[in-house]
């Protein structure tokens, strides 16, 4: 079941590696899931416009990730994640990149399963 | 050969372009001999800098362009880069050899443009440590433009780069999509790069530890503690062994002779030397041009400027700051920013002017407004801090702690409020973490000299001007008028003597001078705490003001100023009630 091995970057364990499958776009998709999502301002009240709205990602976030070398087909290793939904650090090739938690939720990785 | 070139102007424009943090600024210094600030974090250069290089009989203008990952800009600094590409005659594409794949994406984008390109394969020395082998001749063949391995910090390969500049070519590359471009990048990397196994080094271990949440926290505490210790050690060392002895043994006797020659009083005496305290010159209280006017910038502030920028320069070049950004991200999010905003904030502890300019590395207007406002309110510059520590510290360290504590709490609370009230959006952190590098001492030294000489050049005239102005206005009686108008606020709300209005107003010109002006007022410890805090939070100094207006626009600058005044009054009044 290949689907079972698909995780978001934030769900991966530090040290785990995999191949980037997809970088999701569109406002607040995966961010609505998971424990504690209601506590996040601006997303608990889905779609409400106001200060802090659409805080998870900037325009062109996929493009910026791509420019840093994080794009579908690339091998990626999760290095660490900070507590309290803090940023996730990942490594692609020789580049180390830190992305916000919301972004990490939208990077879908097919995880290597040890044989 | 140079399709964009305007031959009516004789100067050829050479652009240094590349990803952030690949050593463009270091290469720029090498090529032009012009010293500029280079560090180990993406986004050191937010404005372009130009210098000149002699190329045969021609003079060429070299421009250090802010780093960009793509030609589709997403931050203000990147927009500058793309904008500049239009009038370049030649591009030196600086490529981080340890990170070929990501860097070549930009290279291919540049090759699609109708501009001659030459590639500087920089950080060549680092490839060996990392077990990377690159066939630069093969790469040259595949790209169709010259490729020269360089090490900008040591100067290796620079001569060859310059001699091969005329070989730069317009490439015929064209890609229908970014996927096609990436495929080509992968193809080139596959052909020119070979990786060999290497052992884990102490650097890797240190990187692993500081990426870990708990380990990172520990490293941060150690780093900040050591930085603080270095700043104190160096600062106090310079004061104790250099500046104070110089002033005491050389300058004071000279001034006393001058004082006698001027008849120990009169107009010129009060302007040049100021008032004598118990028949002696007191460098904090006399307030003459040659006494306090020179002592504040050169003896009280300069040592700490040197100490702070030395510590900052090392932290910058080691590559620690982006890691701190990741660690601080959760807190900074609560303030409507993201972790990377910690870098302008730390720069602000040196001087608010470059700090406000550095807010350009933030993506949205909302973030830039919040960051710039918070820096102006809660982040005291080194000059101000040196004076606060010097003056308030005489009453006891706990009072200095009160000032810093109040500023920090205000910084957090105002940030929380701004996050809830300012419209717009704040994107999340997305930042490249550079590897740790051993600081190149030459770069650290040059950067320190650049910043310190900048301080002397810019601050000294303003300090002298401010001291002169204060003396003249005192003599004209202008201050009495001001004091009486503002007395209700200053005395009623803040519990300060009404004479404190003058230093507070003077804070607009130079904050260090303003703190110096508090010295003769014989304030209590509590009053010193209140006045120092209010001074730090109130208007930024005039130089910061100008930069705020330029970066935020007049309207937002006025908004920020309103917030500053309100915050300063509220915090000062609260301190007056609580302390």
CATH number for the domain including B154? 3.40.50.300
State the CB neighbour count (10 A cutoff) for residue A73: 11
Q: Within this chain, do residues B183 and B127 fall inside the same structural domain, yes or no? A: yes
Identify the helix (H) or strand (E) that includes residue A14: none
Nearest to A87 among B69, B326, B434 (CB): B326
Q: Which of B195, B229, B261 finishes a domain?
A: B195
CA trace torsion B431, B436, B438, B439 (10° rounding)? 20
pLDDT digits (tens, 9 = 90+) for B176-213: 888 899 999 999 999 999 988 777 788 888 888 888 88
Please answer yes or no on whether A97 and B99 come within 8 Å at the CB atom.
no
Residue recorded with tokens 């406000």: B356
Q: Within this chain, do residues B465 and B563 fall inside the same structural domain, yes or no? A: yes
Domains: count for chain A: 1
Q: Describe the crossing of helices B554-578 and B365-378 by its angle, rounded to 10 degrees.
A: 40
Measured between CA atoms, how close is B48 to chain A, in angstroms? 22
Tokens read off for A102? 């919301």
Kindly state whether residue A82 falls inside one of the protein's structural domains.
yes
Please answer yes or no on whether A69 and B325 come within 8 Å at the CB atom.
no
Q: How far is CA B107 from CA B73, B293, B340, B459, B562, in A?
A: 15, 52, 26, 42, 46
Q: Within this chain, do residues B170 and B220 fall inside the same structural domain, yes or no? A: no
pLDDT digits (tens, 9 = 90+) for A59-89: 567 778 888 888 888 889 999 888 888 899 9
State the CB neighbour count (10 A cutoff) for residue B232: 13
Kindly state whether residue B509 falls inside one of the protein's structural domains.
yes
Give the C-alpha separation, B107 to B118, whole Å.
10
Judge whether A106 and A58 are in contact, CB under 8 Å. Answer: no
pLDDT digits (tens, 9 = 90+) for B367-417: 999 999 999 999 999 889 999 998 999 999 999 999 999 999 999 999 999
Q: Within this chain, do residues B218 and B103 fall inside the same structural domain, yes or no? A: no
Nearest to B211 among A50, A64, A80 (CB): A80
pLDDT > 90: what percent of chain B?
40
Q: Within this chain, do residues B180 and B223 fall inside the same structural domain, yes or no? A: no
Kindly state whether residue B1 falls inside one of the protein's structural domains.
no
Q: Within this chain, do residues B382 and B525 fall inside the same structural domain, yes or no? A: yes
Instruction: Identify the pLDDT of residue B306.
Output: 92
A65 and B CB contact within 8 Å: yes
CA-nearest residue to A14 within chain B is B212
Query: Residue range A79-107: average pLDDT?
Result: 88
Tokens read off for A78? 């999760």
Query: Residue range B13-26: average pLDDT?
Result: 89
| Contacting residues for A6 by C-beta, under 8 A, at least 6 apart | A21, A108, A109, A110, A111
Measured between CA atoms, how close is A65 to chain B, in angstroms? 8
Q: Within this chain, do residues B296 and B356 fall inside the same structural domain, yes or no? A: yes
Tokens read off for B493? 């709300």
Instruction: Identify the pLDDT of residue B569.
Output: 93
Measured between CA atoms, how close is B50 to chain A, in angstroms? 27
Kindly state whether residue A6 falls inside one of the protein's structural domains.
yes
Please answer yes or no on whether B430 and A101 come within 8 Å at the CB atom.
no
Give the residues across from B329 on adjacent strands.
none
Residue B230's pLDDT band (cuts 50, 70, 90): very high
Tell whether the model's pLDDT for residue B347 goes beyond 80: yes
Kindly state whether residue B3 falls inside one of the protein's structural domains.
no
Please answer yes or no on whether B432 and A96 come within 8 Å at the CB atom.
yes
Please answer yes or no on whether A61 and B427 come within 8 Å at the CB atom.
yes
A68 and B CB contact within 8 Å: yes
Identify the helix (H) or strand (E) that includes residue B41: none
**Choice between A34 and B532, residue whose per-residue pLDDT is larger:** B532
Kindly state whether residue A23 falls inside one of the protein's structural domains.
yes
Q: Which residues in chain A have their CB less than 8 angstroms from residue B421's CB?
A: 51
Tokens read off for B546? 């100008």
CA-nearest residue to B107 within chain A is A67
Q: Which residues in chain B have their CB less than 8 angstroms from residue A15's CB?
A: none
**End-to-end Cα spacing for chain A:** 14
pLDDT digits (tens, 9 = 90+) for B420-438: 998 887 888 888 898 888 8
Domain holding A93, by residue range, is: 2-31+58-111
Please answer yes or no on whether A89 and B433 come within 8 Å at the CB atom.
yes
Residue B475's pLDDT band (cuts 50, 70, 90): confident
Please answer yes or no on whether B425 and A84 come within 8 Å at the CB atom.
no
Residue B107's pLDDT band (cuts 50, 70, 90): very high
Q: Which residues in chain A have their CB less than 8 angstroms from residue B363's CB?
A: 58
Q: Which residues in chain A have their CB less than 8 angstroms from residue B106's CB?
A: 67
Q: Which residues in chain A have their CB less than 8 angstroms from residue B434's CB?
A: 96
Please answer yes or no on whether A80 and B338 come within 8 Å at the CB atom.
no
CA-nearest residue to A101 within chain B is B428
Q: Within this chain, do residues B189 and B267 fall inside the same structural domain, yes or no? A: no
Q: Which of B195, B223, B251 finishes a domain?
A: B195
Q: Within this chain, do residues B186 and B232 fall inside the same structural domain, yes or no? A: no
Nearest to A94 among B99, B216, B424 (CB): B99
Kindly state whether residue B203 falls inside one of the protein's structural domains.
no
Tokens read off for A31? 């961010």
Q: Within this chain, do residues B219 and B185 fall inside the same structural domain, yes or no? A: no
Judge whether B469 and B509 are in contact, CB under 8 Å. Answer: yes
Tell whether the model's pLDDT for residue B459 goes beyond 80: yes
Q: Which of B130, B160, B195 finishes a domain?
A: B195
Q: Within this chain, do residues B16 and B49 fall inside the same structural domain, yes or no? A: yes
pLDDT digits (tens, 9 = 90+) for A22-59: 888 654 433 333 344 434 433 333 333 333 334 444 45
A51 and B CB contact within 8 Å: yes
Measured between CA atoms, how close is A110 to chain B, in angstroms? 20
Domain holding B308, by residue range, is: 214-578
Kindly state whether residue A45 falls inside one of the protein's structural domains.
no
Task: Provide the mean pLDDT of chain B.
Answer: 88
CA-nearest residue to A62 within chain B is B430
Q: What is the CATH number of the domain that holds A63?
A: 2.30.30.90
Tell whether the model's pLDDT for residue B164 goes beyond 90: yes
Please answer yes or no on whether B428 and A99 come within 8 Å at the CB atom.
yes
Kindly state whether residue B485 falls inside one of the protein's structural domains.
yes
Kindly state whether residue B202 falls inside one of the protein's structural domains.
no
Residue B142's pLDDT band (cuts 50, 70, 90): very high
Instruction: Identify the pLDDT of residue B254.
Output: 94
Domains: count for chain B: 2
User: How much helix, strand and coil, in percent to the nearest 5, is found in chain B?
Assistant: 65, 10, 25
Please answer yes or no on whether B326 and A99 come within 8 Å at the CB atom.
no
**End-to-end Cα spacing for chain B:** 73
A27 and B CB contact within 8 Å: no
Q: Within this chain, do residues B185 and B264 fall inside the same structural domain, yes or no? A: no
Nearest to A68 among B102, B338, B339 (CB): B102
Kindly state whether residue B387 falls inside one of the protein's structural domains.
yes
CA-nearest residue to A81 within chain B is B213
């Amino acid at each position: 079941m290949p689907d079972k091995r698909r995780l978001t970057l934030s769900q991966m364990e530090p040290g785990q590696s995999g191949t980037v499958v997809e970088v999701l776009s569109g406002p607040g998709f995966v961010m609505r899931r998971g424990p504690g999502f209601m506590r996040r301002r601006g997303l608990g009240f889905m779609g409400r416009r106001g200060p802090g709205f659409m805080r998870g990602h900037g325009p062109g976030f996929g493009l910026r990730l791509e420019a840093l070398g994080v794009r579908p087909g690339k091998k990626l290793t999760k290095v660490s994640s900070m507590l309290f939904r803090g940023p996730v650090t990942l490594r692609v090739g020789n580049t180390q990149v830190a992305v916000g938690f919301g972004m990490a939720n939208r990077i879908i990785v097919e995880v290597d399963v040890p044989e | 050969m140079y399709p964009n070139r305007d031959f009516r102007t004789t100067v050829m424009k050479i652009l240094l372009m590349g990803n952030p943090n690949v050593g463009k600024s270091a290469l720029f210094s090498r090529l032009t001999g012009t010293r500029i600030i280079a560090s180990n974090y993406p986004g050191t250069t937010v404005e372009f800098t130009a210098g000149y290089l002699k190329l045969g009989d021609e003079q060429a203008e070299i421009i250090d362009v802010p780093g960009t990952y793509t030609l589709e800009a997403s931050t203000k600094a990147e927009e500058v880069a793309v904008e500049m590409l239009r009038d370049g005659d030649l591009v030196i594409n600086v490529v981080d050899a340890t990170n070929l794949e990501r860097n070549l994406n930009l290279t291919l984008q540049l090759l699609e443009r109708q501009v001659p390109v030459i590639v500087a394969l920089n950080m060549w020395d680092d490839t060996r440590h990392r077990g990377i082998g690159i066939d630069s001749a093969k790469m040259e063949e595949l790209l169709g433009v010259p490729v020269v391995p360089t090490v900008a910090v040591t100067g290796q390969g620079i001569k060859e780069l310059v001699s091969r500049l005329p070989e730069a070519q317009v490439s015929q590359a064209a890609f229908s999509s970014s996927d096609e471009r990436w495929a080509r990048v992968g193809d080139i990397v596959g052909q020119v790069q070979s990786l060999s196994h290497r052992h884990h080094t102490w650097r890797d271990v240190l990187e692993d530890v500081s990426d870990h949440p708990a380990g990172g926290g520990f490293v941060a505490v150690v780093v900040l503690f050591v930085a603080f210790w270095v700043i104190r050690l160096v600062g106090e060392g310079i004061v104790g062994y250099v500046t104070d002895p110089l002033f005491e043994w050389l300058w004071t006797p000279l001034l006393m002779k001058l004082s006698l020659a001027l008849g120990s009083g009169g107009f010129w005496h009060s302007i040049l030397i100021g008032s004598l305290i118990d028949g002696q010159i007191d460098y904090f209280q006399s307030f003459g041009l040659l006494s306090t006017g020179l002592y504040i910038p050169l003896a009280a502030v300069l040592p700490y400027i040197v100490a702070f920028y030395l510590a900052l320069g090392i932290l910058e070049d080691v590559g620690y700051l982006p890691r701190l950004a990741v660690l601080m991200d959760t807190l900074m999010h609560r303030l409507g920013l993201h972790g990377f905003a910690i870098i302008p904030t730390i720069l602000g502890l040196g001087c608010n002017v470059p700090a406000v300019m550095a807010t350009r590395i933030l993506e949205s207007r909302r973030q830039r407004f919040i960051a710039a406002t918070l820096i102006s309110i809660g982040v005291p510059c080194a000059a101000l801090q040196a004076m606060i520590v010097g003056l308030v510290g005489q009453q006891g360290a706990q009072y200095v702690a009160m000032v810093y504590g109040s500023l920090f709490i205000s910084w957090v609370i105002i940030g929380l409020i701004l996050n809830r009230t300012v419209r717009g959006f704040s994107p999340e952190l997305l930042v490249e973490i550079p590897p740790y590098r051993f600081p190149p001492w030459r770069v650290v030294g040059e950067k320190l000299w650049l910043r310190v000489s900048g301080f002397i050049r810019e601050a000294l005239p303003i300090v002298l001007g401010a001291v002169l102005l204060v003396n003249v206005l005192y003599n004209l009686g202008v201050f009495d008028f001001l004091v009486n108008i503002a007395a209700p606020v200053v005395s009623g709300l803040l519990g300060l003597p009404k004479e404190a209005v003058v230093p507070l107003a003077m804070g607009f010109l130079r904050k260090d001078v303003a703190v110096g002006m508090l010295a003769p007022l014989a304030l209590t410890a509590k009053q010193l705490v209140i006045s120092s805090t209010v001074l730090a939070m109130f208007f930024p100094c005039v130089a910061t003001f100008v930069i705020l207006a330029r970066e935020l626009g007049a309207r937002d600058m006025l908004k920020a100023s309103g917030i500053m005044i309100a915050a300063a009054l509220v915090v000062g009044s609260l301190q007056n009630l609580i302390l």
